[in-house]
Amino acid sequence: MTIKLSAEIFDPWQELVDFQAQAVDMAGKYGATGVFVGTMRDFNQGDEVRGMYLEHYPGMTEKQLQRVVEQAQGQWQLLDVLLIHRIGQILPNDTLVLVAVWSAHRGDAFDASRFIMENLKSQAPFWKRETLESGQIRWVEKNSDGYSK
């Protein structure tokens, strides 16, 4: 398991290439990689968004992310997990979060990546403060439910 908070912009696809290149132990063992990439939009709740600040609780955020990944590892057969989440100042089109799970079979990879994503959104202490095109600054009050439209 690798969990990182990044104050810098990162390329999720390059991270995957780099991670797999060093994960020699699981080479040949995985048949499925479940990947979710979350990207910042330039709109939210009907408004144009210029940028966003992502606050977190140092220590607790890492602890809760680790717990979510451990729960997934307890529920599905996973070979490894990579989770990277941005913090700090973020612009539209920046990657916000990368969740990748490697497994022998696709069922575990699909389900575990979804589980990690949905649970981090409800449990990991991050808070979004948006700056709108109008200049208004507002906190996002709650995340949408990932299981309904």
Partner 1 sequence: MSIKVLYFASLKDRIGRSGDELTIEAPLTVVEVWQRLNPNMDIPDTLLAAVNMEYVGLDAKVSDGDDVAFFPPVTGG
Residues engaged in binding partner 1 (CB under 8 A): 38, 54-57, 59-61, 63-64, 85, 96-97, 117, 120-129, 139-143
Closest by Cα among 53, 78, 71 to 120: 71
CB of 137 to partner 1, least distance (A): 10
Closest by Cα among 18, 27, 6 to 102: 27
Distance of alpha carbon 149 from alpha carbon 140, whole angstroms: 18
Given the complex with partner 1, which of 29 and 63 has the nearer CB atom?
63
CB of 64 to partner 1, least distance (A): 8
CB of 25 to partner 1, least distance (A): 29
Given the complex with partner 1, which of 111 and 118 has the nearer CB atom?
118
Given the complex with partner 1, which of 38 and 92 has the nearer CB atom?
38
Structure tokens at 10: 């990162």
Structure tokens at 85: 């989440």
* Cα 1–chain centre separation: 14
Given the complex with partner 1, which of 32 and 124 has the nearer CB atom?
124
Structure tokens at 50: 């210029």
